[in-house]
Structure 1
Amino acid sequence: MQQQDSRRHIPRTDTLLALPEVAGARSRVAGHVIMSVIRSAQERARAGEISPEEVEAVVVAELAAATTSTQTPVLNATGVVVHTNLGRAPLSPVAVEALILAAGYVDVELDLDTGTRSKRGRGTRAALLAACPAAEEALAVNNGAAALVLATTTLAAGREVVISRGELIEIGAGFRLPDLIASTGARLREVGTTNRTHLHDYAAAIGPDTGCILKVHPSNFRVTGFTSGVSVRELSALSAEHGVPLVVDLGSGLLAPDPVLPDEPDAATTLADGADVITASGDKLLGGPQAGIVLGRAQTVLSMARHPLARAVRMDKLALAALEATLSGPRPPVTDYLHADPARLRERTEALAAAVGGTVVDHDGRVGGGGAPGVPLHACAVRLPEAAARPLRLGSPAVLPRVHDGATLIDLRCVPEADDHHLLQAVRTALRGL
C-alpha cells in the first residue's frame, strides 16, 4: 500500500487566513505581509523543514512578532552623543509628542481664522528666531547639506565661491563639500593652503565673479602645528568692503556658547561677528530632527526662501513640528548627555558592574556627528569580555557598546536612567551565552 504524502496535510491558505490570530494581524500589518508569512511557512513544510502540523503555529508566531519597520531601537552605550549610525540626536519627549500630533491633518499651510492658505513653517521660524535673537530671519530646510546647497545656489550659481583649501572637507559616507558646491553650478575659488590661509588670500581672490565667501567649520578632524586661519570677524569686514555676502557653515547646530564645548562655534557668536548667513544641522547639537537651519540677515535669508530650489528642499510637517518643539521645549537629551553629572554616571556604572561582574574603567566619550572633534567627554565604563559585544547588539533590547583594546565597554552617558534595568537584563542575557 502506497504511503500517503504528508504534504497533503499542509493547511490551505484560506484555512490559515481564517485563523483569529491571522485575522487580527490585519490591524497591524498589510495583507501582502500576511500572505508572505503564510506562503513561507507552507514552503518550509513542503521542504521538510517543519511538519504540516507546525505550520499554523509558525504563522501565528511570526505574525505576532511582525512589525511595520525594519529599524530596531538601540540603547547607545558607546559614549558618543551624536551617533550618526544611530540616527544622530534622539528626540525629546515633547518633540515626539509634537510629531505624533502632526501625523494627522494639521494647519501646516492654513490660517484657521480666515480659512485661507498661510506660510509653511511659520511656527518653526518663530521658534528659531526666539532661540537665536542675533538672527534677523530664519529658514528651515530638510538637512544641513540642503541648507548649504540653497545658500550657494542662491548667491553664487554660475559665479565663484571663495573658500580656503583647508576647509574643503569630506565627511561620512564619502560626502565631499567640493562636489556639493560644484553641483549647484557655482565655481570653487580655492585660496591659501591646507594648513595656512591668510586674509590677503581671500582679498586677492575677490572679483566681479565672486558670489560669496564661504567659511566651513571642519568636521571630525583638527589640523594642529604650523597653521593659521581667518576669523569670521576678519572675513566679515572684508566681505562688507567688497559687498560680497559671507556664508558660514557651522555644521553642528550649536545656537549659543556652551562651556562644555569652549571651542565649538555657535550661531549667536558667529552672527554677532558679522556673518550674513549661517547654515547648520538640526539633528546634532541642537538635539532635534534632521533639518537644515539657516539664520542670518533678513534680505539674504528671504532671497533663499524665494529661490525655486527652496521648494525641493523644504521640510515636511512632521520634522517641522519636532523641530519647533525641540526649540520651544525643555532641553533635549543631547544637551542632558553632554552635561551629565560625572558622579551620578559613576554611581550608575558601578552598580551595573557589580550586578554583572564587570569592572569599572575610565572612558572618554565623544560629541560625535562632526561636533567638537577631539574633545573628550570624561567618564567611565563597564569593561566586559570582547565576545559580549555581538550578543549585546543582537539582544532585546539591542545594545551598542564600544569595542576597544580587546574588550567590550559600556558607557552609560547616553543611556536614559529609566532604561538601566533593561540594560542590566540585556547584559546578563549576553553574558549567559558566552
Structure 2
Amino acid sequence: MTADLSRLPAVDRVLKGATAQALVERYGRTLAVEAVRTALADLRTAKAVADEDGVATLAADKLAARMAPSQRPMFNLTGTVLHTNLGRALLAEAAIAAMAEVLGRPSNLEFDVADGRRGERDDHVRTWLRQLTGAEDATVVNNNAAAVVLLLNSLALGKAVPVSRGELIEIGGAFRVPDIMARAGCRLVEVGTTNRTHLRDFEAAIGPETAMLMKVHPSNYAVVGFTHSVPEAELAALAHKHGLPFANDLGSGQLVDLERWGLPHEPTPREALQAGADLVTFSGDKLLGGPQCGIVVGRKDLIQKLNKNPLKRALRLDKGRLAALEATLRLYADPDRLAERLPTLRLLTRPAAEIDAVAHRLLPAMTRALTGQAEVAVEACRSQIGSGALPVDLLPSHCLSIKATGTRSGAAVERLAAAFRALPMPVVGRIEDGCLKLDLRCLEDEAAFIAQLAHLKMPGGA
C-alpha cells in the first residue's frame, strides 16, 4: 500500500517543534532548515511518512553526521609507530600547550618586542637548531619535500645535480625524487648503478653545468648484498674540490643518537655536517617527534640564499607549528628525560614486557566482547618505526591476535577489521595470517579502549 505523502508535515510545522528548535539553537537556522528539507525529500523518495518530531529526528541525525569533525582520534594498533596515514609523530604535551598559547591570540611571530620592529619568524627556532646540530644557520618550511624543493630551486635552477641511481627513491603517494628535482627546475644526472656507485662515477658526472652534489637517504627500503655507496665525507671532499656545495637529504632525521636507548642508529644532522655536508634537510614530524615541517641546516651563506627565494614565503611555517617545533626542540636540551617527555621516543623504547602485560590485561575484556564471534590470543610480534626510518629494523612487541571463529577467510577477517574501525574511536590494526593483529605498542589509554568495546557490533557471519 502506497504511503500518503500528503501527510508529511510542512517545513514550518517541523521547525516549530522542540526537537527542531534545539537544532536551530545548536547549528543555526540555515543549516536546520536545510536538514529538515533534506529529511522530507528522503521520506518522499522512500515513499514513507513521519510526523513533525520524526522528521526533526531524521534531520538531527543528518546534521550530526554533517557537523562531525572529519578528523577523528584513533587507536593506532598497526604496529607502525610513525604511521603516515595516521598523522605520524604524536606531539609532546609541551608542544600542544605551546600551540594553544599562540593560536587563539596575537603573537610576536614576526615582531621584535625589544625594538618594536619587524622580526623574522625563523628566529623562534634558529638558535635551538644551531645548538642541536652544530650548524651555522637554519631555516624551516612546511615539510621535508618542500625543503628539498627550496634547496634545489635556490642553488641548482637550470643546472645539473648528480645523484646515485641507488638513491632515486619513491615513498608513499608515488612521491619520487626525480619528479621533485624536475619540479624544482634542475636536471637530474643519474650516476652509478642501483646497487653500486663509486666516487669515480660522481667525478665523471661533474661538468660546467653541475650545480652541486647530493645524497638522498634511502627510505622504506634497504639495498643489501653486493653493494657500494660513496661515504659522505668523500662526496663532500669531491664537491669542495670542484667548488660545489654538497647537500644531504636525511629524510626522517633525528637530533640524538638513538643507540643511547637501545635503538638502531639513524644518521643525525650533526653527523652529516661533520662529514662535510654544506646543507642537510630532514623532517620534523618523524623521528624528531615534532609537528609537520621540513628543516634545513648548514652554511649561513647558503641558508641566506634559500631565504631570499620567493618560494620560501609560499612554504613557510605558521605560528602554531613554529611554537610546537620550538617546544619540541627545547625538550632535547634535557636528553635524560627525553624518552619520558617525547611520545615518539617513549613509544619506540617501550619494553616488550610492558606491552605483554598490557595484552594480558586486555585479554579478558576482548574475549568477552567477541564471545561466539572470534577467538583472541596474546602473541609476540614485531613493530616497525615507520615513515621511512630504519625500514629493516623491527622492535619486539606483543599483540592481540583475533581470528573469526571457525574460519580464516579473507572476508571474515575484513569484517573483523571493519567492526573495530566502526567503534566510536576507530581501532586500526593489521591483517596478517588470516587474523586481525592489534599491536599494543602504541596503546597507552587502556581504559578508553576497554570502555568502547561495549559498542563493538560484529556483522553476521564474522
Question: Same fold judged by TM-score > 0.5?
Answer: yes
Structure 2 counterpart of 1:187, which letter?
R
Partners of 1:49 and 1:4 in 2: CA distance? 8
The equivalent of 2:334 in structure 1 is none
Bigger drift between 398-407 and 346-355 goes to 346-355
Structure 2 counterpart of 1:309, which letter?
L
Q: Does 1:118 align with 2:115?
A: no
The equivalent of 1:253 in structure 2 is 253
The equivalent of 1:59 in structure 2 is 59
Partners of 2:128 and 2:145 in 1: CA distance? 21
Structure 2 counterpart of 1:376, which letter?
L
Q: Does 1:129 align with 2:130?
A: yes
8 Å CA contact retained: 1:16, 1:22 = no
The 1:17–1:272 alpha-carbon spacing in structure 2 relative to 1, beyond 3 Å, is farther
The equivalent of 1:325 in structure 2 is 327
SS state at 1:367 partner = strand
Bigger drift between 188-197 and 87-96 goes to 87-96
Structure 2 counterpart of 1:334, which letter?
T
8 Å CA contact retained: 2:253, 2:266 = no
SS state at 1:376 partner = strand
How big is the shift at 1:263? Answer: 4.0
Question: Unaligned stretches of 5+ in structure 1?
Answer: none
Of 353, 365, 369, the match for 2:387: 369
Of 443, 447, 460, the match for 1:421: 447
For residues 167-194 of structure 1, the C-alpha deviation after alignment (integer angstroms, 9 at most, x for no partner) is: 1111111111101101122111111111
The equivalent of 2:109 in structure 1 is 108
Q: Does 1:346 align with 2:356?
A: yes
The 1:219–1:426 alpha-carbon spacing in structure 2 relative to 1, beyond 3 Å, is same
Aligned residue pairs, count: 426
How big is the shift at 1:425? Answer: 3.2
8 Å CA contact retained: 1:108, 1:120 = yes
Q: Does 1:406 align with 2:405?
A: no
Q: Does 1:202 align with 2:202?
A: yes
SS state at 2:295 partner = strand
8 Å CA contact retained: 1:6, 1:52 = no
Of 417, 421, 425, the match for 1:397: 425
The equivalent of 2:335 in structure 1 is none
The 1:32–1:178 alpha-carbon spacing in structure 2 relative to 1, beyond 3 Å, is farther
How big is the shift at 1:11? Answer: 3.9
The 1:49–1:194 alpha-carbon spacing in structure 2 relative to 1, beyond 3 Å, is farther
8 Å CA contact retained: 2:159, 2:209 = yes
Q: Does 1:139 align with 2:165?
A: no
8 Å CA contact retained: 1:10, 1:52 = no
The 1:361–1:187 alpha-carbon spacing in structure 2 relative to 1, beyond 3 Å, is same
The equivalent of 2:311 in structure 1 is 309
How big is the shift at 1:24? Answer: 2.7
8 Å CA contact retained: 1:261, 1:372 = no
Partners of 2:83 and 2:213 in 1: CA distance? 30
The equivalent of 2:377 in structure 1 is 359
Taking only aligned residues, the RMSD between alpha carbons, in angstroms, comes to 2.2
8 Å CA contact retained: 1:45, 1:52 = no
The equivalent of 2:41 in structure 1 is 43
Bigger drift between 164-173 and 328-337 goes to 328-337
SS state at 1:70 partner = coil
Q: Does 1:24 align with 2:42?
A: no
Identity among equivalent pairs (%): 40
- TM-score, normalised with respect to structure 2: 0.86
SS state at 1:73 partner = coil
Partners of 1:35 and 1:325 in 2: CA distance? 45
Structure 2 counterpart of 1:345, which letter?
I
For residues 308-333 of structure 1, the C-alpha deviation after alignment (integer angstroms, 9 at most, x for no partner) is: 22111111122212211222245421
How big is the shift at 1:371? Answer: 0.6
8 Å CA contact retained: 2:146, 2:315 = yes
Partners of 1:13 and 1:311 in 2: CA distance? 54
How big is the shift at 1:33? Answer: 4.1
SS state at 1:366 partner = strand
Of 394, 397, 421, the match for 1:379: 397
SS state at 2:89 partner = coil
Partners of 1:238 and 1:427 in 2: CA distance? 61
Partners of 1:347 and 1:139 in 2: CA distance? 44
For residues 14-45 of structure 1, the C-alpha deviation after alignment (integer angstroms, 9 at most, x for no partner) is: 8259844223314xxx7654444232222223
Partners of 1:65 and 1:195 in 2: CA distance? 52
8 Å CA contact retained: 2:14, 2:55 = no
8 Å CA contact retained: 1:388, 1:430 = no
How big is the shift at 1:72? Answer: 1.9
Partners of 1:36 and 1:197 in 2: CA distance? 64
Structure 2 counterpart of 1:89, which letter?
A
For residues 332-368 of structure 1, the C-alpha deviation after alignment (integer angstroms, 9 at most, x for no partner) is: 2111111112221111111112332221111101111
Partners of 1:265 and 1:102 in 2: CA distance? 33
Structure 1 counterpart of 2:128, which letter?
A
SS state at 2:280 partner = strand
For residues 342-399 of structure 1, the C-alpha deviation after alignment (integer angstroms, 9 at most, x for no partner) is: 2211111111123322211111011111110111011110111234211111111111
Partners of 2:77 and 2:127 in 1: CA distance? 35
Bigger drift between 179-188 and 105-114 goes to 105-114
The equivalent of 2:191 in structure 1 is 191
8 Å CA contact retained: 1:11, 1:55 = no
- TM-score, normalised with respect to structure 1: 0.92
Partners of 2:313 and 2:173 in 1: CA distance? 26
The equivalent of 2:228 in structure 1 is 228
Q: Does 1:9 align with 2:9?
A: yes
Partners of 1:31 and 1:245 in 2: CA distance? 61
For residues 26-66 of structure 1, the C-alpha deviation after alignment (integer angstroms, 9 at most, x for no partner) is: 4xxx7654444232222223334451330122334544565
For residues 389-417 of structure 1, the C-alpha deviation after alignment (integer angstroms, 9 at most, x for no partner) is: 111111111110111111011111112x2
The equivalent of 2:75 in structure 1 is 75
Partners of 2:230 and 2:37 in 1: CA distance? 65
Matches within 5 A, 1:230-245: 230-245=230-245
Of 337, 342, 361, the match for 2:347: 337
For residues 101-139 of structure 1, the C-alpha deviation after alignment (integer angstroms, 9 at most, x for no partner) is: 22232221112333321111311222322332x211111
How big is the shift at 1:6? Answer: 4.0
